[in-house]
Structure 1
Amino acid sequence: MKTAFIVLTYNRPDTLLQVLRGLVSQCGEQHEVIIADDGSSQAAIDAVQKALPLFKCPVTHVWHPDRGFTASRARNLAAGSSTANYFVFMDGDCVPNPRFVEAHSALLEPGFFVNGSRVLLSEQLTKKILADEVDINNARWMDWLRWRLAGDANKLIHLLHWPNAPFRKQRAFHWKRIRSCNFGVWRNDFLRVNGFDESFEGWGHEDADLVLRLHNAGLQRKNGFCATEVYHLWHKENSRDNELSNRHIVTQRLHTGVIRAVRGVDDALVADDVRVTRFD
């Protein structure tokens, strides 16, 4: 059993390194870390490689040229390069909690995918974390309470670690709280639906589309609250110019029973503009 943590990034070595530092103490030889790079500059790549923490597992960097927001393609390319049985997709600005790897391992189950949870952090707290003034994974409950009262964190439910909580499983498709920044899926299930659909243009709802197609393929959703939380570092929002049109695509597909992506991981596997590098 091997799990790959696939971390999406684009020109943010500072936030990516925070994520990798959160993973390094949790990952063992049975894991792999894959950086899904959506076209970062060479300077950004060099900064990550220079400051990369020492992992016990392989760390691979999968890069393709910058053609705008093409997160689905970056993730598909990373998944296609992996030999793992199970994928956990993450974003390069979402720092895992100290039990993140353990929690995802406990929740994985045949016939299910895991929809993770997140805690939103303020711009002020994010700046302190990136300046190494705050170690978010060594914060005490008193720190979290102070941050919550100050508006630096949007919730405190992650302080309750409850891996066996009831009501995690959902049979039907729901738009609510779908998170590709924290998402676990079996390799075979991901390949069966042809991964993320690269025909979506720009930001918005490619994650909902993946969840819908997994449901159509017979998979059920398991929610990762009180277990799998990541700490989402503040950033300016991406352009949402295509959000409505992308949502319309998913809405139309609700009634079609579609399972496979129009252009997905199978197509990404034959790409000739991809650079795969082992980071040591």
Structure 2
Amino acid sequence: MKTALLISTYNWPDALDLVLKSILNQTTLPDEILIADDGSSNETKALIDRFRNEINVPICHVWQEDVGFRKSKILNKAIAQTNADYIIQIDGDCILHKKFISDHLDSVQKGFYLYGSRVNILPEYVDEVIEKKTTDFNFFSNEIKNRSRSLSISFLSKWYKPHYGISKKFRGCNVSFWRKDLIDINGYNEDFEGWGREDSDLVIRMGNNGVKAKRLRYAGILYHIFHKSNSKSNLELNNKIQKETIDKGIIKITNGINQYLKK
């Protein structure tokens, strides 16, 4: 099974630097790293190019012009560039626990997607974390809240059973799935523009297609670097699109990944 780590990013190279450094500490490395870049400047490109020399894993940097928040489009473009069987997806402001990738891979099953939670780094510590390039946290770290989420306890994580339907605990910054399951529903819906609901809509449609969900708890840990919220000016429209997905049981959308796949 070939695995790709997919990272979405936009113009925050200081945060992405810490994410990339945390990959170096993984007990298990992915077979490939995909960076879905929604219009960052050359500073981000230079960072990625430097990182290529530090890790013996292929990196595919997929960039699109910055004409507003178009996360669905850039994720589709990035996923279209890989032939990996399994995708582990994070945001470019999330530092990985050393067992993050291995935890996801230990729980992989056909017919399921996995979702984990995030430990939040407190706003007052963000500058210090970036300046010191801190990537190692634990239950007693001053920089974090949601401390119980930082506990890595393998046998407890096995208690969480698969389920149908989307959980209120779902976060798009920590999710993994079979690439085929995504292709079967035509990937992310590019009708979503602006912040919100593109990730949840994806897994709702997977669920409509029979894919079950499993929560990673006490495993698959990552640390989210606090930042100001993105504009939510499109959220009402995005909520409407997702509600239609739920009400009509939509599985496959028209404006998706198929336009980037090789024929």
- Residue 243 of structure 1 and its aligned partner are, at CA, apart by 1.3
Deviation string 1:140-190 (CA, Å, 9 cap, x unpaired) is 4432xx44xxxx42332321423543133111334x122221110001101
Q: Secondary structure, in 3 states, of the residue corresponding to 1:156?
A: helix
Distance in 2 between the 1:113 and 1:210 partners?
A: 11
Q: Is the 8 A contact 2:71 2:193 kept in 1?
A: no
Query: Does structure 1 conserve the Cα–Cα contact (< 8 Å) formed by 2:32 and 2:57?
Result: yes
TM-aligned CA deviation for residue 28 of structure 1: 5.9
Residue 82 of structure 2 aligns to a residue whose secondary structure is coil
User: How many angstroms does 1:71 deviate by?
Assistant: 0.7
The answer to whether the 8 Å contact 2:96/2:223 transfers is yes
1:120 maps to 120
Amino acid at match of 2:140: M
1:172 aligns with 2:165: yes
Alignment RMSD (CA, Å)? 1.9
Instruction: Supply the distance in 2 between the matched residues of 1:128 and 1:256 (Cα, whole angstroms).
Output: 47
Residue matched to 2:62: 62
Residue deviations 1:42-92, cap 9 Å, x none? Answer: 233223323556112111111111111001111111100012100011100
Counterparts of 1:107 and 1:62, CA distance in 2? 28
SS at match of 1:136: coil
3-state SS of the aligned residue for 1:131? helix
Separation in 2 of the partners of 1:29 and 1:209? 29
Q: Does 1:200 align with 2:198?
A: no
Offset of 1:249 from its aligned partner?
A: 1.6
Normalising by structure 1, report the TM-score: 0.87
Query: Per the alignment, in what secondary structure is the counterpart of residue 132 of structure 2?
Result: coil
Alignment of 1:91-240 (within 5 A): 91-132=91-132, 135-137=134-136, 139-143=137-141, 146-147=142-143, 152-162=144-154, 164-174=157-167, 176-240=168-232
Unaligned residue ranges in structure 1 (runs of 5+): 271-280
Q: Which amino acid aligns with 2:8?
A: L
Between the two proteins, what is the percent identity of the paired residues? Answer: 33
With normalisation by structure 2, the TM-score equals 0.92
Task: Establish whether residue 266 from structure 1 lines up as the match of residue 250 from structure 2.
Answer: no
SS in 2 for 1:69: coil
Letter in 1 for 2:158: A
Unaligned 5+ runs, structure 2? none
Q: Is the 8 A contact 2:80 2:260 kept in 1?
A: yes
| Of 239, 253, 264, the match for 2:245 | 253
Distance 2:51 2:204 in 1: 38
CA distance in 2, matches of 1:106, 1:89: 16
